[in-house]
Amino acid sequence: MNTELVLISGMSGSGKSIALHALEDAGFYCVDNLPPELLLPFVQLEQQQRMQKVAIAMDVRSAGSLPMVPAQLTHLQQARDVDLRLLFLDASTEVLVKRFSETRRRHPLSQQEVSPLGEQSQRDLMEAIELERQLLADLRESSHIIDTSQLRSSQLQSYLKNLISAPTAQMTLMFESFAFKRGLPLHADFVFDVRMLPNPHYEPSLRPLTGCDAPVAQWLGSHAAVDQMATHIEQFVREWLPALAADHRSYVTVAIGCTGGQHRSVYLVERLSQRFAPDWVTLRRHRELAAPQ
C-alpha cells in the first residue's frame, strides 16, 4: 500500500504547528523541522515500517539545505509507492508582524551572520520576513497555498482535514467565498468579483441570513444576472481544468468575492460546487462564515 506523505512548509508564524496537530489528529505520524538531508532516508525508513500516513514540516530553519529540496520532491513525485501532497502556509506580512509582536517570539532569521570583525547584527522583523519569502519561493511555487491571514485555529484545522480527506489520485477543486473588504485570499488560483450582482443585503428580511439559506438562494436565483454569472464562471473553469490537471496540480482554488462574503459569493460557491461535484473532487469553504465544510 502506498505511503500518503504530506509535506508542510510555509512562513514562520503562519500556523505550521497547528497544521501538524490537525494532521496528527487525523492519524498521521508527524515530524517537525526535518532537515532536508534526511527527507528521502526518512521516507524510506517509514515505508519499511509500513507507516501509511506521514506528515513532515520543513521550513526556513533549515535554510542552508533548502536548495536540495526540489530535486527530492521530484524523486518522491515519481515514486509509485508515495502519494505526495505539498502544502504551503502563508499569511500577509502585516498579519505575521502582528503575530510575532503578540507572542514576542524571535523570527528564526532575525540574527544575521557574524561579520569578519566578530560582530553580530540583528535584522528587523520586516527584513526577516521578506528574506524568508525569498528563501521559500521555490517551495511555495510548487505547493498548494493556504492563506491563514483570516483563519482561526479551528478553521485551519478543519480546512486541512477536508483537504487531506480528498482522494490523492485526483485533482481537488476548492470553491471559496470571501469578502473583498477583508482582503483577497493569497492562495486563490482564480478570483471572480461578483459585487455588481443584486445584493440581498438591502432586503431587510434577508440581511441577517446567508447564501446558504433558502430565502436568499431563492431571491438570488430569481435574477437572470446571477444565473449568467454562475454560467460564465462555470464555463471558464471547465475550460481550464483539464490543462491544470495535466500540469499535475493537486488542488485548484476558485475564489468568489462580494462585499461582505455573506450572500452573493456564498450562494455562487454553493451552486458551483454542486455543478462540479459529479465530475471533480470538490470542496467548498466560506471564509467569512463558519469553518470549512
Of the candidates 90, 93, 149, the one whose C-alpha atom is nearest the C-alpha of residue 126 is 93
Domain ranges in the chain with CATH number 3.40.50.300: 3-165
- Give mean pLDDT, residues 141-153: 87
> How far is CA 205 from each of CA 38, 150, 209, 236, 251, rounded to the nearest angstrom?
59, 28, 8, 34, 37
- Convert the pLDDT of each residue in 55-107 to its tens digit: 999 888 877 778 788 888 888 877 778 888 899 999 999 999 999 888 888 88
> Which has the minimum average pLDDT: 163-172, 173-182, 257-266?
163-172
Indicate if the pLDDT at residue 177 is higher than 50. yes
Which is higher by pLDDT, 163 or 31? 31
| pLDDT score, position 112 | 61
| pLDDT score, position 169 | 62
Q: Express as a percent the part of the chain with pLDDT over 70.
A: 93
Indicate if the pLDDT at residue 158 is higher than 70. yes
β-strand pairing of 251-258 with 190-193:
parallel
Name the percent of the chain in helix, strand, coil, to the closest 5: 45, 20, 35
Buried b (16+ CB within 10 A) or exposed e, 100-127: beeeeeebebbeeeeeeeeeeeeeebee
> Which has the minimum average pLDDT: 47-56, 116-125, 134-143, 204-213?
116-125
Alpha carbon distance 71, 48 (integer Å)? 22
Kindly indicate the confidence band of residue 120, based on its pLDDT and cuts at 50, 70 and 90. Answer: very low
Are the CB atoms for 161 and 67 separated by under 8 Å? no
| pLDDT score, position 276 | 96
| pLDDT score, position 293 | 43
Taking the CA atoms of 55, 57, 62 and 68 in sequence, report the sign of the dihedral they define: positive
Which CATH homologous superfamily contains domain 3-165?
A: P-loop containing nucleotide triphosphate hydrolases (3.40.50.300)
| pLDDT score, position 153 | 87
Kindly indicate the confidence band of residue 292, based on its pLDDT and cuts at 50, 70 and 90. Answer: very low
> Which has the minimum average pLDDT: 162-166, 229-233, 256-260?
162-166
Q: What are the DSSP calls for 24-41, one per residue?
A: HHTT-EEESS--GGGHHH
Alpha carbon distance 34, 54 (integer Å)? 12
- Give mean pLDDT, residues 170-199: 92
> Which has the minimum average pLDDT: 118-122, 152-156, 268-272?
118-122
Taking the CA atoms of 32, 14, 6 and 140 in sequence, report the sign of the dihedral they define: negative
- The residue type found at 156 is L
